[in-house]
Structure 1
């Protein structure tokens, strides 16, 4: 019974928060996502490449969708809308099946920073992860230089586990990553 419930939630196409609408990413979103992937400042702390053209955005979204179609280890990715305007994307990826660990991810367009959207969607996804996906642990990664992101993770109750040195290679150099996590029992205590 539990397994059927998990699979049903993996197939969700629309989720609502207090202010946001999350819709499953589709190919047609390549134009909206171009606004993220074409912003060097926005993607510099992510694993996403810089995309120069709409054609490049089509190619990249096709690769992402294909990867997710071949993988059953995800919840999302979702496109975020506020008052019918695109504001970003988010989701959960299964990192370890043996311990049922998921990784939270989100990117919000810069002109929507400071509105609490990342906080709102992160809390919603963490709740879904623990309640419906039976996650035991949810993690998130943040570049040490990206204080906006790791401060948000702390604000929603995640604990810093440490810094993995030279964990990520981007822009021809290695980067350290902070690792944050929250356990199911910690989340339940916060409710």
Structure 2
């Protein structure tokens, strides 16, 4: 897929260096269910993502550098037509509208070509950049769930529980939106 400034494509194993550039940063993976990646882990992950249809590489048209990724996968049961959206971007390229541009393109593709009925997304309420992006994309905050899970542990080995904002958007809302 193509936007004004971006290519959105499937991952390749060769993407590992650009993937490592951002997944090796603690501030990037703070809200993710994994820790920072080393170079070997980034190689393995790029290879894994190259065969996982849920992951999309977001690259600059100007130099083909991978600057982030979008997760877009159909949820079970498939008969419900619900897909989940997620994203992680290199902070070096944040604040320029790339994530908004890429996610809009993928939402358009989902609603208009895949016949997606509903898109959902979840994020930690502390991750203001994430929920502001979801709201720019016109997803509706549908809930604030308390202590829904944990990915990390404190220095005593106790879980660090996090809250979750839940968002949703229907195809009819997307098709009737006013830009």
- TM-score, normalization: structure 1? 0.82
SS of equivalent to 2:104: helix
Distance in 2 (alpha carbons) for counterparts of 1:113 and 1:159: 22
* Equivalent position of 1:40 in the other structure: 26
Q: Tell me, yes or no, if structure 1 residue 23 matches structure 2 residue 9.
A: yes
SS of equivalent to 1:139: strand
* Greater alpha carbon shift after TM alignment, 55-64 vs 135-144: 55-64
1:176 to 163, 166, 170: 163
Q: What's the CA shift for 1:154?
A: 0.9
* Equivalent position of 1:60 in the other structure: 45
CA contact (8 A) 2:145 2:163 kept: yes
Q: What's the CA shift for 1:100?
A: 0.9
CA contact (8 A) 1:20 1:80 kept: yes
SS of equivalent to 2:176: helix
Distance in 1 (alpha carbons) for counterparts of 2:81 and 2:70: 19
Q: Tell me, yes or no, if structure 1 residue 189 matches structure 2 residue 167.
A: no
* Equivalent position of 2:67 in the other structure: 87
* Greater alpha carbon shift after TM alignment, 118-127 vs 81-90: 81-90
Q: Tell me, yes or no, if structure 1 residue 159 matches structure 2 residue 144.
A: no
SS of equivalent to 1:118: helix
CA contact (8 A) 1:158 1:181 kept: yes
Q: Residues 96-128 of structure 1, C-alpha deviation per residue, up to 9 Å, x if partnerless?
A: 312110111221111111100111111111111
Q: What's the CA shift for 1:63?
A: 4.1
CA contact (8 A) 1:91 1:125 kept: no
Q: Which runs of 4+ in 1 moved over 6 A?
A: none
Unpaired segments of 5 or more residues in structure 1?
A: 1-14, 69-73
CA contact (8 A) 2:9 2:58 kept: yes
RMSD of aligned Cα (Å): 1.6
CA contact (8 A) 1:37 1:48 kept: no
- Matched residue pairs, number? 169
Greater fraction helix: 1
Q: Residues 105-161 of structure 1, C-alpha deviation per residue, up to 9 Å, x if partnerless?
A: 221111111100111111111111111111110011111001111011111111001
2:113 to 132, 148, 157: 132
